[in-house]
Amino acid sequence: MSIELQSISKRFGSTQALDQVSLTLEEGHIYGLLGNNGAGKTTLLSILTDRLRPDFGQVLVDGQPVKNNDEALGKLFLVGEQNFFPEDMKVKRAFETAASFYPDFDLEQAHKLAKEFGLPLKKKITSLSTGYASIFRLVLGLSVNTPYILFDEPVLGLDAQHRDLFYRLLIEKYSQEPCTVIISTHLISEVENIVDHTIILRDGRILRDAPTEELMENTYAVSGPAGMVDRYTEDKTILSSHSLGGLKTVSIQGQPESDLPLGLEVSRMSLQDYFISLQEAAEREEEPA
């Protein structure tokens, strides 16, 4: 049981949105799909759900290609930024429509969640505020009960209270009925404790694809007087470095040594810091010599 992306490439005019992306998304994990604007996250999710067709490569869901395949597509549900519902459709009818397409859609749960989030059922989807439009899509995603749920910027426009409620409900749902969840987001710090596997995209290519814990175990930050830090990092893989006065902080790929020189301080990196460091390292590599 998995989603397989095999050498997916997609170009829009002169922009290479995805370049030979190959991935396997295993059953029962919560994946974090991270990347800067234009990294190709939304394109990737749209290709996964056959909304966009790749120029090259194919997507398999449990071994079946998704192209025009209702059985494979029926196992996926994408909660995206864009609205695919008719302009005049009301929230209540959208739930009923979803229930007619997805046999496992829990209509009762959708109504319960709508009440919990304060989502008005009688309003047209297009007349909802940005926040409530996001809530509407989240309620669908949390009620649809498909084996794979894909969230693209799920908390867009949501206030802190509703964001917290969503993350709690997602974890609750996942613990009750484990499924595969893919969250594409810019709010890395908020999903850091949720995602157990991280995929980082940059310019249509995969920079990292590994369990979150493994990524975090293999990176650390060292700070101290600039000269000492420079000497310490001479033979190490530096992701990023920042100086402030005579002090310097360097993010390093690898395991910290137990006998660290006196005066240097080691700290664990957050996923967001790691992401930023990785992007900075990639930028440096791309700079012309």
Partner 1 sequence: MTTTMRASIQYQLRDYRTSGLILFGVNVILILLAILGMFSVGINGEVSYTAYGFSAAIFMLVCGIVTARQVIRLCAQMGTGRKTAFLSLLPSAVLASLAIAAAGEVLMAAAQAVSIGYPNLYFNDLYGLIYAGFDTTLSVGQHITSALFNTCLMLACYGFGLFCSFLYWKLSKIGCVIAGILMGLFFLGGLPGLSRMIVVQYPNLAEDFAAFCLQSGWNLMAVFLVIFLVFSFISWLLVRNVNIRGWHK
Q: Which is nearer to partner 1, 2 or 253 (CB)?
A: 2
Quote the least distance from Cβ 119 to partner 1, whole Å.
Answer: 15
Q: Which is nearer to partner 1, 128 or 229 (CB)?
A: 128
Residues 210 and 218: their CA atoms lie apart, in Å, by 11
Q: How far is CA 204 from each of CA 37, 51, 58, 200, 271, rounded to the nearest angstrom?
A: 11, 18, 16, 10, 20
Quote the least distance from Cβ 59 to partner 1, whole Å.
Answer: 12
Pair type for strands 30-35 and 197-202: parallel
Residues 199 and 274: their CA atoms lie apart, in Å, by 12
Q: Which is nearer to partner 1, 94 or 222 (CB)?
A: 94
Quote the least distance from Cβ 87 to partner 1, whole Å.
Answer: 8
- Residues of this chain that interact with partner 1 (CB under 8 A) are 46, 49-53, 66-70, 73-78, 80-87, 97-98, 100-103, 125-126, 128, 130, 133, 146
Residues 151 and 183: their CA atoms lie apart, in Å, by 5
Residues 228 and 45: their CA atoms lie apart, in Å, by 45
Quote the least distance from Cβ 278 to partner 1, whole Å.
Answer: 29
Quote the least distance from Cβ 81 to partner 1, whole Å.
Answer: 6
Residues 277, 269 contacting (CB under 8 angstroms): yes
Instruction: Pick the closest to residue 100 from 74, 80, 124, 76 (CA basis).
Output: 74
Contacts of 1 (CB under 8 A, 6+ apart): 26, 27, 62, 147
Quote the least distance from Cβ 200 to partner 1, whole Å.
Answer: 25
Quote the least distance from Cβ 103 to partner 1, whole Å.
Answer: 6
Q: Which is nearer to partner 1, 53 or 122 (CB)?
A: 53
Q: Which is nearer to partner 1, 46 or 241 (CB)?
A: 46
DSSP 245: T
Residues 221, 276 contacting (CB under 8 angstroms): no
Q: Which is nearer to partner 1, 65 or 256 (CB)?
A: 65
Reported residue count of the chain is 289
Given CA atoms 280, 281, 286, 288 in this order, what sign does their dihedral have? Answer: positive
Q: Which is nearer to partner 1, 136 or 275 (CB)?
A: 136
